[in-house]
Structure formats: C-alpha cells, structure tokens
Structure 1
Amino acid sequence: MNTHLVLAALAGIATIVLLIVWLKVHPFLSLMAGAGVMAVSAGMPYANMFKSFTTGFGATMADVGLLIVLGSIIGTLLVASGGADVIVDTILHGTSIKWLPWAMALIAFVIGIPLFFEVGVVMIIPVVMYAAVRSKVPVMFVAIPALAGLSVLHGLVPPHPGPLIAISALNANLGITLGLGLLVAVPVLIVSGPLLSKIIVKWVPIAPRTDFLGGQSPEIKKDAKRPHFLAALIVVLLPVILMLARTIVELTKHDKTSVGAAIVFIGTPLIALFITVIVGMFVFGYTLSRSRDEVNQIVSSAFGPIAGILLIVGAGGGFKQTLVDSGIANMIGHALAQSGLPILFAAWLMAVLIRLATGSATVATITAAGIMAPMAAGMSPTHVSLMVLVIGVGSLFFSHVNDAGFWMVKEYFGMTVVQTIKSWSFMETVISVTGLACVMLLSVIV
C-alpha cells in the first residue's frame, strides 16, 4: 500500500471532518478545502490543486444537478397545489387505529418520492400530530413510520440526491437501481416503521404537540380547488413508472424496436423528470384555474431551497474526481479487495464511518462512492446498483448530535436528547442494518 497516498486521503477526510464538526463550516466549503488538501498532499502541483475538483463539479452538476432541480419543481408543485394534502387525507380517511402506523408509512412513502427529506419532514409533522391527536395515541406510534418512510426513500430511491450521487459516481444503471431500491425499501420500511414503532412507543411515550395544529390542519378546505387523488398519485409516480419501463425494455432486449426506442427515450431520467414537470404544471396548476404567472411563481419558488444542496452535490463530485485523479481511490479499492471483506459490506462500512464522523448522509455517500468507484468498474450492472443501495443505507446509520436532522426531529417533537437517540437515532440504525441485510441477501439471488 502506498503510504503517501494513504496519508493524503486521511488528510483530506480529516480536513472535512474538522471543518464540518468542530468549526461548523458549510459542507460545500469543507469538501472544497478537503479536496485541495488531499490533492496537494497526494503530490499534485499547487497550481492544479482544484483542477480535478472543477472538472468533477461541472460533470456532477450536468449529470445530477439538473435532476435535483426538476425533482424539486415536482415536489413544490405537489405541495403548493394541495396535492400532498389530498394524498394524505385519502389514505387516512377511515383508517382504524390498528392500521394507522401502516397508513402513515404509506403516506410518507408516496409523498416522499418527489420531496427532499427536510421538506417532507416539515410537511408531514402537522399530519403526524393531527393523526395522533385524532386517534388519541402516543405520537411515536405514528411518527416513526412517517419518519422511516421519508428516510428510507432518501437513502435508497432516486431522484433523491444521495442515490443520484452514488449512481453517477459508480456509473450505475438508474433504472436497475430504482427497481432494486424500491424492492429493498419495502421490507426495510416495514421493519423500521410500523413494526419498530410498537417498541419505540414504549421507550418514548410522549404526547403529540397540539401547537402544530393551529392553522396547519391537514384537512382539505372546502373552498379550495385541489387535484383529485388519482391525478396527484399519477404525477408523483410518473417518473418512477417511465424509468422502470425503460429498464424493462432494455432488459428484455426490445430497445431496438421503434416503440422500445421511444420508451427508452422517455424513460431517460432527465426526459422522464422533464415530462413529469410539464404534466405537473397542468395537473397542479392550469387545470386548477391557476394563471400562468401563478404557476411560474410556484416553479420559481422551487429553486431557492435547493441552492445549498446543489452546491454540496457539486462539491462532492469534485471531491470524488480528486480521489480518482490522485490515484487514492484506486489504491484504497485495491487494499479493500485484498482485505477479504465482502465488497458490498466494505462499501456500507465506509459510508457508516464517514456518516458517524461528519453527521452528513450526503457527505458520507459522496465520499464512500468516490472511494469505491474503482471497485465497481468490474462488477455486473446489478451488483453496481446494489453497491449504490448499500452506500445509501450506510449513510443513514445512527444519526446523532453532529447531524442537523437529529436536532430537527428533536425540536419538532419536543424531545430530550436521550429520547431522540432512543427513537430517531435507533430508527436510523435499524434502517441501515436492515437495508444492509436485504442488499446482501439480494446479492446472492441476483
């Protein structure tokens, strides 16, 4: 093993951890600084310390950044039109207390497809509180399934940033990854959501906060025009359907026919999301009597909240490219190959360690994917997709005090630090370990 490159890698990662955890520097600047330190330490000329970084930044923004922007527009249209409220109320209507956790998991799973985790949490909190008050149950009974649904999708299913980053870094097939991600997500959600909530509600038997209900009731206002449930559901699932259709056509070797070629084209991630945006503008805008200016205003409001995410994703691409161009990724990959550890487990462990150190699932995904990229080159498309998934669940492991999501959940539910660890942190760990088990099982089957 090249000791010089090992020290360079440690210097780069240590710089990121130091800046994010101790000095509270924004992850974008931390990743940029870490890439610069790593490049110089690896022997790159000072004048070229950011050459690989800028190349990787541009490539990642072109590949992943556009998808994140389109996904954000779809999510914003869904929320602003009341489509999310329609989905929530339709699923909750007539649900008995026994099935309430399953209903909340389903709600989070459906609306979580186009929404970023933070947006989903903000939107679903009033729904959780309302459901708990209405059914007179402890809040964790319905909160854990809802949080699990959002978190599982965040780690496993495109077009969420984490999976998209790993897909780009590892050159994975998006359709295969999407299909396998949904396949893994269902059992992971069942275990970490409705089933786990029965345990956590005994550990953290807190009452719901009623102050979230004032002015934020999830009930549909009678005088507001909202989209129909089926229409809202179709828009949410449309990009998933188009991308999965493309994968099926390619796997069955029908992509050379005229119809197959058309399906492959519209199932391309960028085209699928662009089509969904156009459909969403009509279903969530024009058909609800909203003017062109009103729809444009909703679309414009989708850009501001994702600026920070885009910068972090782009910086992650730059960091990954620096890892590759410096030879560090190849060196670490070769060392892992000789370690005897199963490759998928090694990828999961890499993501777990970086997650624990930095508190950021995105940084953990970016770094682990960059390190594991050389190992993915010789793997089958299916196993490359499984590596994407195993990195995704590894990046969720044990959220604690250095994770912004930890404090977000703590404050929203009015819990102590210990209660948050016993509920949120434990749930995230169960998601990660269960996800690892499911992926390892799939690796034997497929």
Structure 2
Amino acid sequence: MSAIFAISLATAAIVALVILIARFRLNPFIVLFVTSIVMALVAGMPADKVVGSFEAGAGHVLGHVGTVIALGTMLGKMLAESGGADRIALTISGFAGRGRVDWAMLVIGLLIGLPVFFEVGFVLLIPLVFVLAERTKTPLLRIALPMGAALSVTHALIPPHPAALLAVSAYHANVGHTILLGILIGIPIAIIAGPVFGRFAAAHISLTEANPLAEQFVHSDVQTSLPSFSLTVFTILLPVALMLLGSAGDLLTIPHSALNDALHFVGNTDIALVLATIMSFYTLGKTRGFSAETILRFTNESLGPTALIMLLIGAGGGFGHVLVDSGVSKAITDAALVAHMPLLILAWLLAVIVRIACGSATVSMATASGIVGPILTHSTGVSPELMVLVTGAGSVALGPMNDAGFWQVKEYLGLTVPQTLKTWSVLETLIAVSGLVLCLIASVFVH
C-alpha cells in the first residue's frame, strides 16, 4: 500500500466521520462501525477478517476503560449524593476564590494525574468539575478543560505512566531526570492548554444542551450537613494512593515476593477503584445515614448515562484497530521514516502519526519510541530524557475521534462533535505543539 493512498484513505475516513455525525446527525456508534468496515475493505483487508478486527479493538479498549468508567462513576455518584463533592467544591472555591477555580482545578489535576491513567483521573474529578461550575456559577468549560489538560500532560510526559516508562526504557533515559524535566516542561504546557485556553474556549462556546451526567452529580441546594473535608479527600484519594503504592512496589519490597505481589495487586487500576468504591459505600454512604437499598439505587442510577460513552469508546478502539490491521497505519509510518529530519522532530512526528492512526496515546508513545530508540543509540548530542518528553507530547496530538478520551470528554461535558473538535482536539494539539517547541528550546541547554 502506498503512503499517498494510505494517507488519503485515513483522511477520507476521518472526514466522513465528522460529516456523518455532525452534519447528518447519525448515531456515532453506527458511523464509527460502518466507516471502519468500509475503510478496511477499501484498503484490501480480507472481508472475513474485518469484523473480527473491529471487535478485537473494541473489546481491548472496553476491557479496561469500561470497568474504570463504571467504578469511577459509582464513586462519583457517592461523592455527589453524600455532599462530599459540595464540601470539596466549597473548600476549593473558598481557598482559591471564585475567579481562580480553574487554576485550582489545574493543580488538582496535576496531582491526581501523576499516578493514574487519564480515564481514571477524569472519572474521579468530573463530579468536582460539575459541582464547582454550579456552585461558583463558572462556565463548565473554564473548569473542565484545565482539569483535562493537567491529566493529559501528566499522562503523556511524566513517569510512572506505563507509556512514559516504556519510552524511558527505549531511549535509555534516566527516570529521575525525565520526571524533573517533565515537571519543568509540563507545567507551562498545562497552563497554556488549561486555564489560558480554557478561558478563551469558554468565552466563545456556549453549552446549551441538557447534560444528564451533570444533573446526577449536582443538586439544586447545598446540603446543610456535609461530610468532613478530610474524610471526603481520603475517599477520593484512596485509589490514587493505592495505585502509587503499587507503582512503587518494586522499590519498597523484594520483587516477586508475596508482599510485592500484594502491592502490585492492590495497585492495579481496577482493584484500586473497586476498593475505593466499596469504601465510599461506608464513608460517604453508611456514615451519612443511607441504607443499603439507597446505596444500591445510587450505583444503579449512575450507570445509565454511561452506556453510550462505553459504546463510543469501544467503537473508537475498533476504528483504531482496523487502521492498524489493514496496513494503513504502517504505510503512513514507513513514509515518515524515509524523510530525514532531526530526531526530536522525527520522534514527535511518528508519535503524531501513530496517534492519528490508532487513537491511543499509550500505543502512540510506545510505538514511536520503539522505532526511534535504536536510531538514538547511534546518534549523539540528543538528550534521551527530552526524547521521552517530545514523544509523549506528540502522542496526544489532535485528540482524534478514534481516541477513547474524545468521546469521554464529549459525552461527560455534553458537547457536540464540532464543539469537541474546537475544544478538546485543539487543547490536545496545543499540548503537542507546545511540547515540541519547549523540548526544542530545552535541547539547546540539555544534551
């Protein structure tokens, strides 16, 4: 397959998605499924392999993200019904002031995002975003976008995220130096894509459609009796602490020992979230006077609005998998390798290409670092740590529609497809471009 044909086919598929969903208002799941099938057949993929490829991609994504969304939504529902979200929102707005809640949300996102995946941090923090927006009468986008930017930056640039660790290994970078540079470069990137862009976007885009997800987390009146701030923060940070403990397991214990295995087990994303959710049934449920029947009703109610989100995330994963299996992704990547360019730019461009092709930032970063890593061993004058960061920046570019995060942001914030492209896709591109520019500047001083 020629590179020109592959690029044309991928572009046509993406344009078709936008037009069919935004212009003709067709169901996004059906559009993603049909477009994936047609694209695979046009690319020459055997007809008996096409549906299986889509199902494999959808199943792979939903196997992890579906569980995370379900548990995170239950935890968020308990946070909202107990008044815990109100307590945190009132405390944050009181400390930061109503005019700076977006900056406060940026800081919270950076802290929460360090040890957790984007999807996990998003479902943990979105109830706070809804409540803060309501209580402070601040546009939702002005608070939500800084939170999303912070989570995306930490996910892409700073270990111990798995993709970043894979890139550290591929480039033989120093983990400590990577974390330090990641923080120094990541903070200004998060500021640009977060509060700065968030205020601009909120001033130009109005959210008019009813949002059932926001409604279930926000109540019309602040409860007179609220749980303590410390208990609420303990509950929402429990999964974060468990995941951080799991990632540090090899440093704290002997590898492959019983205690080491136990730490890795409780630090698993799904296990940490289910333990925290069960804990919330007591800390934010039983202690607040809710009966077991009421808690069951809360958890059941919370799952209804997430059904479409899960379907769209799965379809996005299927679309990305078809791009890979059909050979479209490889043809585009091979074309980029032929062009001779500086390694920092090559790594960034490859990450962008794989991101467009498969949607996943993790896959993008791992793939690009795996390709460029061997080239770096034969080069001099390039910082391995900056290679990790520039690859991570490229891995989040464009916020394409075959990325689970695109649909997660769209549905939770109640955006249309064009609005999501104008906000989330632009935000992700700002992170990518800012990361490339800052890494190129830093390369003058860091070798």
After TM superposition, the score normalised by the length of structure 1 is 0.68
Contact 1:231-1:283 at 8 Å conserved across structures = yes
Q: Deviations over 1:131-168 (max 9, x none)?
A: x7xxxxxx8xxx7762443331464567xxxxxxx979
Q: Does 1:366 align with 2:359?
A: yes
Query: Relative to 1, partners in 2 of residues 1:378 and 1:269: Cα closer, same or farther, differing over 3 Å?
Result: farther
Cα distance, 1:78 vs structure 2: 1.4
Q: Deviations over 1:11-56 (max 9, x none)?
A: 4334323322332323222211121011111212334431211122
Q: Does 1:395 align with 2:388?
A: no
Amino acid aligned to 1:221: Q
Contact 1:188-1:434 at 8 Å conserved across structures = yes
- Of all paired residues, the percent bearing the same amino acid is 27
Amino acid aligned to 1:127: R
Query: Relative to 1, partners in 2 of residues 1:246 and 1:438: Cα closer, same or farther, differing over 3 Å?
Result: farther
**C-alpha separation between the residues in 2 aligned to 1:31 and 1:119?**
28
**C-alpha separation between the residues in 2 aligned to 1:393 and 1:10?**
15
Query: Relative to 1, partners in 2 of residues 1:120 and 1:330: Cα closer, same or farther, differing over 3 Å?
Result: farther
1:123 is matched with which residue? 131
Amino acid aligned to 2:238: L
**C-alpha separation between the residues in 2 aligned to 1:87 and 1:80?**
13
Query: Relative to 1, partners in 2 of residues 1:378 and 1:244: Cα closer, same or farther, differing over 3 Å?
Result: farther
Contact 1:73-1:299 at 8 Å conserved across structures = yes
Query: Relative to 1, partners in 2 of residues 1:100 and 1:72: Cα closer, same or farther, differing over 3 Å?
Result: closer
Cα distance, 1:196 vs structure 2: 7.0
Query: Relative to 1, partners in 2 of residues 1:330 and 1:99: Cα closer, same or farther, differing over 3 Å?
Result: closer
Query: Relative to 1, partners in 2 of residues 1:314 and 1:438: Cα closer, same or farther, differing over 3 Å?
Result: farther
Contact 1:104-1:145 at 8 Å conserved across structures = no
CA RMSD of aligned residues (A): 5.0
**C-alpha separation between the residues in 2 aligned to 1:384 and 1:306?**
34
Query: Relative to 1, partners in 2 of residues 1:393 and 1:50: Cα closer, same or farther, differing over 3 Å?
Result: same
Could you tell which deviates more after superposition, 370-379 or 326-335?
A: 370-379
2:349 is matched with which residue? 346
**C-alpha separation between the residues in 2 aligned to 1:244 and 1:303?**
27
Contact 1:121-1:147 at 8 Å conserved across structures = yes
1:149 is matched with which residue? 146
**C-alpha separation between the residues in 2 aligned to 1:72 and 1:441?**
41
Cα distance, 1:328 vs structure 2: 1.8
Q: Deviations over 1:182-202 (max 9, x none)?
A: 9576444444556678x969x
Contact 1:243-1:268 at 8 Å conserved across structures = yes
Could you tell which deviates more after superposition, 105-114 or 42-51?
A: 105-114
Where do residues 222-261 of structure 1 align in structure 2 (5 Å cutoff)? Answer: 222=224, 224=225, 226-250=226-250, 254-261=254-261
Contact 2:193-2:427 at 8 Å conserved across structures = yes
Which stretches in structure 2 are left out of the alignment for 5+ residues? 114-120, 156-160, 169-174, 205-217, 374-383
**C-alpha separation between the residues in 2 aligned to 1:377 and 1:26?**
37
1:317 is matched with which residue? 317
**C-alpha separation between the residues in 2 aligned to 1:83 and 1:323?**
43
1:59 is matched with which residue? 60
Query: Relative to 1, partners in 2 of residues 1:261 and 1:151: Cα closer, same or farther, differing over 3 Å?
Result: same
**C-alpha separation between the residues in 2 aligned to 1:388 and 1:192?**
15
**C-alpha separation between the residues in 2 aligned to 1:111 and 1:18?**
36
Amino acid aligned to 2:2: N
After TM superposition, the score normalised by the length of structure 2 is 0.67
Where do residues 257-272 of structure 1 align in structure 2 (5 Å cutoff)? Answer: 257-272=257-272
Q: Does 1:32 align with 2:69?
A: no
Q: Deviations over 1:294-344 (max 9, x none)?
A: 111111122111111111111122112212221222222222222346344
Secondary structure of 1:227's match? coil
Could you tell which deviates more after superposition, 188-197 or 381-390?
A: 381-390
1:212 is matched with which residue? none
Secondary structure of 2:68's match? helix
**C-alpha separation between the residues in 1 aligned to 2:244 and 2:361?**
26
**C-alpha separation between the residues in 2 aligned to 1:331 and 1:375?**
14
How many pairs are equivalent? 390
Q: Deviations over 1:245-267 (max 9, x none)?
A: 22222467843233222111111
1:50 is matched with which residue? 51
1:136 is matched with which residue? none
Q: Does 1:70 align with 2:71?
A: yes
Which stretches in structure 1 are left out of the alignment for 5+ residues? 133-138, 159-165, 206-215, 355-363, 412-416
Amino acid aligned to 1:233: V
